[in-house]
Amino acid sequence: MNNFSINLKDGRTFDKICALYDRSRVDYPDEIIQDIINYSKIPSDAVILDVGCGTGQATSSFAKKGYFVHAIDASENMISYAKNKYKDFKNINFEASTFEDVSLPNNSVDLITSAMAWHWIKPEGRDEKAWMILKDQGTLALFWSYQLKEESDFVKAVSEKVLIKYGGENRGPAGSRVKHIASDELFVKFSENPSFTSVVLKEYNKMFIFNKERYVDLVLSYGWVQGLPEEKRKQLVGDLNILFENFDNSQSIPYQYILLLAKKA
């Protein structure tokens, strides 16, 4: 299932780009967060495990609503950055750990969330571990975002004139690959898994404004780009700067979010 070639087990892929990642990535619409809460029916004292929390964007969305969130990420630097950014939140516990290695009691978590990260986890035993950690009728909520290149001449040009040269035509940010992972692979897999029930797939659209600097940072924030040799990354940035000569500095970028929900049977 996992077609990505970068091994994020040790978390070092994102260690050096925490600030860049935090300032360039888009947030998660409150509609998604509220739909997760409504579907899961978690109580006010719920415990949430946020897998692959990065710099804490999705983590903070739930913490701001009063829930306790145990947030994990493979990158120690990402965790340190998030701890500092959300140091005033007493209801967040950040831990540097992979999902494979995190140790939590069985039946201890009301909700497991994972934004842009579930596909990085080794498939073997992944769903089984989620099932064991979740309480009865607990919820697994997985979500991704990607840019709709077919609705933007700019994004299409980025994908087909720049990213394709580096093996990333359908990867982030113009990454319809995550749509395939969510819709064609995981949705089918969970629908056929008797350990989970009430499987739902939802889509959301939102427009964001990017200037050239933020868009270049955004491209650099993706794991597959960080996995390129340094010289290739420099060439990619140069190609993006050349591309922008044919477009306005400010671009309206159409995003689609995909949310996969499933309950522990």
Q: What is the mean pLDDT of each run of 10 residues along the chain (265 residues)?
A: 37 74 95 98 97 96 98 96 97 97 97 95 96 98 96 96 94 88 95 98 97 96 92 97 96 97 98
pLDDT on residue 175: 79
Instruction: Go through the domains of the chain in sequence order and give each one's CATH number.
Output: 12-148+175-209+254-264 (3.40.50.150)
Give me the pLDDT at residue 15, please: 62
Q: Rounded to whole angstroms, what are the CA distances from 152 to 134, 155, 160, 254, 258?
A: 40, 5, 12, 7, 19
CA-to-CA distance for 149 and 168, rounded, in angstroms?
Answer: 13
Tell me, what's the pLDDT at 10?
44
Given this model, what pLDDT does residue 9 score? Answer: 42
Nearest one of 104, 69, 103, 107 to 86, comparing CA atoms:
69
E-only strand ranges, the chain? 47-51, 68-73, 92-96, 109-115, 134-147, 196-210, 251-264
Q: What is the pTM of this model?
A: 0.91
Closest C-alpha to 140, from 233, 231, 265: 265
Q: What is the pLDDT of residue 223?
A: 87
Per-residue model confidence (pLDDT) at position 177: 87
pLDDT for 12: 54
CA distances from 109 to 30, 37, 113 (A): 22, 14, 11
